[in-house]
Amino acid sequence: MIEKTKLPVYSVQIVGQGYAPLLAAITLKKRHPLKFHIEVLSSPLEDTQKLTSTGNYFREFHNWLDINEHKFLRATKADLQHAINIKSDGDIGYFSESPTGLMIENTRFQHLFNYAAAQEDQYHDYNLGIKVHKNGRFTPPSNNKKSLFNQLTYGYIFQDQAYYHFLLSEAQALDIKITPSPTAPSLSADLTIFTDVPRADKKKYYQPLLKGLSSETHYEKGPHHGSTIHLKPELRHDLKHNGINENTVYSAQANQSSFGYHEKSFHGKTLLLGSAYADLPGLIIDPVFSLQSQLMSFCKLSRLTTSAAQAQIFNRNTQREIQSLAEIDEAVMYAANLGNINYTPETLHRIKLFSASGSITQIDGGYMTECTWLSLLYAILGRPKSFPAPAEALSRNDMRQRLAKVKKTISEAANKPPLYTNFLHSTQKDN
């Protein structure tokens, strides 16, 4: 039996611009097993037209935080970003940012999708989500988990400013203290978190920390990336210029799932979150995914106490979540070459069966949705030269004949009445 121990309340200041510090505050408030008194030092971005585009992981993260998707859609007026979604054992997702972009596992390559973009109309014919959306009938999300629409893969495109105001209202409802002016953090907080502070403001934010940081603090080894802190050269220079020993600052690389720090005390410590702080390879990482994956890791894996009773409470509260949640923070980094992707034998077998039957069937207890199958077949049908051809694939003409019937089915389905009404009903109730 676990002894009930009153957990201490730690003070946290989260500094940054835009929605990032608000998202961090809401995450710590809702999902971290320890108790925090949180103050956010944040202000809206000056660029009111800045847009953010996301993949399907964004919805998963909102679900994890119990953020109502209907409310988010109405508040931000976000546009849906449909996807070519190719799934195998590795759960690989391709997000089209037509006509100029492609996202592979949350890593953006702005030059690979031009071939498919030239065949955009043809692609729409084979994608139920796109077809229905163009007909003005797509009303996600469905509360029915078995609904075809609920199986579609889509992300969002929204204005950062709109998301900032949405999260501001969510944070205020949680009694999170918001200081809208970009004032510098004090030294009284147990933990200070920076979330991609703009370069021009770094000196102002770091200066008050000079006296509070201890040169004796060392970076504790994590299970993945050892004891080295990977910081961008310009950030390392900023820290040194302001007299801050970089070993007193804890940073997580984008898409890494581990943090390292001493458990005895984290008073006066600083945590840097977000892609702007990581010394990344020559790839453009989705900044929202980087921040969200790090926040998930911080809530799941951080150990800020040495109390045995508190450690047991932490393990009890998080073990179930770790087992049940999809680990969206373990992204696979692919080189900018589709030829590096290999289909598994199981995927090739399923393609072969589909090609022979022309129908979608349940195989080995698993079910691949219509959208997934059609997207996969389209990628084979109109693949770029670097895209690997599956073994024993049908010829282009044979595949076109096979898909003709499916194309007709998609067209008919897209013009039928909505398959569900839960979304519309719930929207009316919320209003």
pLDDT in tens, 253-267: 333 333 333 333 444
Per-residue pLDDT at 104:
39
Tell me if residue 299 falls in helix, strand or coil.
helix
Establish if 66 belongs to a structural domain: no
Q: 68: exposed, middle or buried (C-beta count within 10 Å: 0-12, 13-18, 19+)? A: middle
What is the rounded average pLDDT of the residues 28-51? 81
Per-residue tokens: 363: 């195989």
The whole-angstrom separation of Cα 55 and Cα 108 is 11
Q: Is residue 325 scored above 90 in pLDDT?
A: no
The whole-angstrom separation of Cα 74 and Cα 172 is 18
What is the rounded average pLDDT of the residues 85-97? 37
What is the per-residue pLDDT across 345-372, written as a single tens digit (0 to 9) for each? 454 455 455 445 544 444 433 333 333 4
- Considering the domain architecture, whether residues 215 and 312 belong to the same structural domain is answered as yes
Establish if 383 belongs to a structural domain: yes
- Considering the domain architecture, whether residues 312 and 346 belong to the same structural domain is answered as no
- Considering the domain architecture, whether residues 237 and 365 belong to the same structural domain is answered as no
Domain coverage including residue 205: 9-50+162-324
User: pLDDT band at residue 35, thresholds of 50, 70 and 90?
Assistant: confident
User: pLDDT band at residue 169, thresholds of 50, 70 and 90?
Assistant: very high
The whole-angstrom separation of Cα 36 and Cα 180 is 20
- Considering the domain architecture, whether residues 415 and 272 belong to the same structural domain is answered as no
- Considering the domain architecture, whether residues 243 and 346 belong to the same structural domain is answered as no
Establish if 304 belongs to a structural domain: yes
Give the bridge partners for 191, in sequence order. 12, 269
What is the rounded average pLDDT of the residues 382-408? 47
- Considering the domain architecture, whether residues 140 and 234 belong to the same structural domain is answered as no
Strand 191-195 versus strand 154-159 pairing type = unpaired
Most confident of 176-180, 241-245, 269-273, 411-415: 176-180
Establish if 200 belongs to a structural domain: yes
The whole-angstrom separation of Cα 431 and Cα 421 is 16
- Considering the domain architecture, whether residues 37 and 180 belong to the same structural domain is answered as yes
Q: Indicate the residue among 324, 358, 393 that finishes a domain.
A: 324
pLDDT above 90 as % of the chain: 6
- Residue 88 CA, chain-centre distance (Å), reads 20
Q: Indicate the residue among 324, 359, 393 that finishes a domain.
A: 324
Establish if 411 belongs to a structural domain: yes
- Considering the domain architecture, whether residues 247 and 267 belong to the same structural domain is answered as yes
Establish if 74 belongs to a structural domain: no
Most confident of 11-20, 105-114, 188-197: 11-20
70-86-341-395 Cα dihedral, nearest 10 degrees: -160
Q: At what angle do helices 20-31 and 287-301 cross, to 10 degrees?
A: 30
What is the rounded average pLDDT of the residues 81-89? 43
Q: Indicate the residue among 324, 345, 369 that finishes a domain.
A: 324
**What does pTM read for this prediction?**
0.55
- Considering the domain architecture, whether residues 379 and 236 belong to the same structural domain is answered as no
- Considering the domain architecture, whether residues 109 and 171 belong to the same structural domain is answered as no
Per-residue pLDDT at 314:
39
What is the rounded average pLDDT of the residues 400-416? 54
- Which of 176, 146, 245, 131 minimizes the C-alpha distance to 13? 176
Instruction: Say which CATH number the domain at 262 has.
Output: 3.50.50
H-run or E-run covering 156? strand 154-159
> SS in 3 state form for 170-200?
HHHHCCCEEECCCCCCCCCCCEEEEECCCHH
Number of domains comprising the chain: 2
- Considering the domain architecture, whether residues 306 and 193 belong to the same structural domain is answered as yes
The whole-angstrom separation of Cα 261 and Cα 425 is 48
- Considering the domain architecture, whether residues 217 and 292 belong to the same structural domain is answered as yes
User: pLDDT band at residue 319, thresholds of 50, 70 and 90?
Assistant: very low
What is the per-residue pLDDT across 155-167, written as a single tens digit (0 to 9) for each? 787 888 999 999 9
Per-residue pLDDT at 292:
80
> What separation, in Å, do the N-terminal and C-terminal C-alpha atoms of the chain show?
46
